[in-house]
Structure 1
Amino acid sequence: MPEATASIGLGTVWLLGASMGLTACAASCLPFIGTWALGRASGDSEAFRHTLSFLTGRVLAYTLLALVAGMAGLSLAHALGGIWGSLAIGGTSILAGLWLLVGKRSSGCSKPSTSTQTIRWGRPRDATPPFLMGAALALTPCTPLTSLLALAAQAEDPLRGASFGLVFGIGATVTPILLLVPLAGRLGMALREERDWLTPWLMRAAGVVLILLGLRRIIPLI
């Protein structure tokens, strides 16, 4: 009932999102975005930017999910948490893996002459796979997400549902991956220093891992 959700403050919804960001989010997201950052091996700066792109995708997805739940009801949670959610997660992971396998460095890049020089990838569109993975992984079924969609459905108001989703998503950005993903990028850069020949192999290995993670989501559905 709308009266029941009227007494629920946005602070409570934020805490619900933060509880997921500090627990389930790190466990389910790190294998995907962490592998991406390690394969890119571009250090803290790009890894942090791509992490923000990843989290932006999650916030947007939670907002849209709660908006639709406010219109369509709780049945949306069960639909997206099943085959469609797994297909979205698997598909975006495979896309990210292929992006690493076929991607090229910026044409303006040159081989480093010293161990401290960093290869600059510098293509804004390279943040697209992290964004899509973040949005898809928002479909991972869990108790906090089910609670969010239940609140949005009970509100019977799409705009109020969207506000729940937005605040929940912002809470979910309080997550250890903000620290762990840049560390993965730094590790990749450290592995590459003085070993420029390792760069394409690191990218390929990360790409294969992401593709396997995606197939692991999709194959059981076939």
Structure 2
Amino acid sequence: MLDVIMPGGAAPLPETISLFSVWLLGVSMGLTACTVTCLPFMGTWVLGRGGSNREALLDTGIFVLGRVTAYSLLGGLAGALGVWLTHALSSGVGNAFIGMASLGAGVWLLLPSRRKTACGAAQRGAGTPPFLLGFSLSLTPCAPLASLLAVCALSGGTLSGVGYGLSFGLGAALTPLLVIVPLLSLFGRNLREGRQWLGKWLRWGAAVVLIAIGLRRLIMLF
């Protein structure tokens, strides 16, 4: 079995690797780096949105869906394009997507909030910012992602690359964010209880934070 040297001098990777191994690699990232990297974005979002616990859990699920979608797409592209994709991501293109997604989430919070309908439907478009945040944050270069792309590049095809990316994404979906983010939403609701004025300040404050983070990411490109 041949070994492949990872970009950046990382440990060599076996040419053939199982879907289960890739899934475990995703789990290792979802339980560690994913939480640290993503919590500032999703934590700020749910505090600013001020939705119910159900909405916070739904937003987190949509965020995770965005990550799974991104990893599947990256896997397919790596299978088709080879190691070129790894070099492209290391150029900082991920920061551009993260910056724009964070800016979009901040602007959404600044828009006049729409009341729910009588049947309790969620605000229109509320799921778009979490999905875009999840998708864009998956483009951040890291050792697990580099390993995934190397495996997909060796797979020799787009479909097999998608399979590896999907397996990795499903592993990364097992993240503490599924618990932490709804708890932050509950904390925000308790703060707002009986203090309607505080809800507006939390919303605007969260918007400013997300916009500031987005601008910082974009400035990093220059």
Q: How does 1:165-184 map to 2 (within 5 A)?
A: 165-184=165-184
User: Is 1:47–2:53 an aligned residue pair?
Assistant: no
Which deviates more, 177-186 or 35-44?
A: 35-44
Q: Deviation per CA, 1:9-37, whole angstroms, max 9, x where unpaired?
A: 11101000000001110010000011101
Distance 1:91 1:106 in 2: 26
| Corresponding residue of 1:82 | 91
| Corresponding residue of 1:186 | 186
| Corresponding residue of 1:209 | 209
The answer to whether the Cα contact below 8 Å between 2:116 and 2:123 also exists between their aligned partners in 1 is no
Higher relative contact order (CA 8 A, sep 6+): 1
The answer to whether the Cα contact below 8 Å between 1:69 and 1:161 also exists between their aligned partners in 2 is yes
The answer to whether the Cα contact below 8 Å between 1:13 and 1:167 also exists between their aligned partners in 2 is yes
| Corresponding residue of 1:26 | 35
Distance 1:124 1:165 in 2: 30
2:17 to 8, 26, 37: 8
Question: How has the CA–CA distance of structure 1 residues 12 and 104 changed in structure 2, closer, same or farther, with 3 Å as cutoff?
Answer: same
State how many pairs are aligned. Answer: 209
| Corresponding residue of 2:9 | none
Instruction: Provide the aligned C-alpha RMSD in A.
Output: 1.6
Which deviates more, 79-88 or 49-58?
A: 79-88
Q: Which amino acid aligns with 2:140?
A: T
Distance 1:150 1:71 in 2: 12
Distance 1:36 1:121 in 2: 19
Q: Which amino acid aligns with 2:206?
A: A
| Corresponding residue of 2:155 | 155
Q: Deviation per CA, 1:65-115, whole angstroms, max 9, x where unpaired?
A: 010000101120221233311100001001000100114131658xxxxxx
Q: Which amino acid aligns with 2:66?
A: G
TM (norm. structure 2) is: 0.90
| Corresponding residue of 2:140 | 140
Q: Deviation per CA, 1:131-165, whole angstroms, max 9, x where unpaired?
A: 00000000011100000000000111111111000
Q: Which amino acid aligns with 2:36?
A: A
Residue identity (%)? 50
Q: 5+ residue gaps in structure 1?
A: 110-119
Distance 1:28 1:103 in 2: 29
Distance 2:158 2:96 in 1: 26
The answer to whether the Cα contact below 8 Å between 2:95 and 2:220 also exists between their aligned partners in 1 is no
Q: Which amino acid aligns with 1:207?
A: A
Q: Which amino acid aligns with 2:160?
A: R
The answer to whether the Cα contact below 8 Å between 1:69 and 1:149 also exists between their aligned partners in 2 is yes
Q: 5+ residue gaps in structure 2?
A: 3-13
TM (norm. structure 1) is: 0.90
Question: How far did 1:121 drift?
Answer: 7.5
Question: How far did 1:124 drift?
Answer: 4.4
The answer to whether the Cα contact below 8 Å between 1:43 and 1:187 also exists between their aligned partners in 2 is no
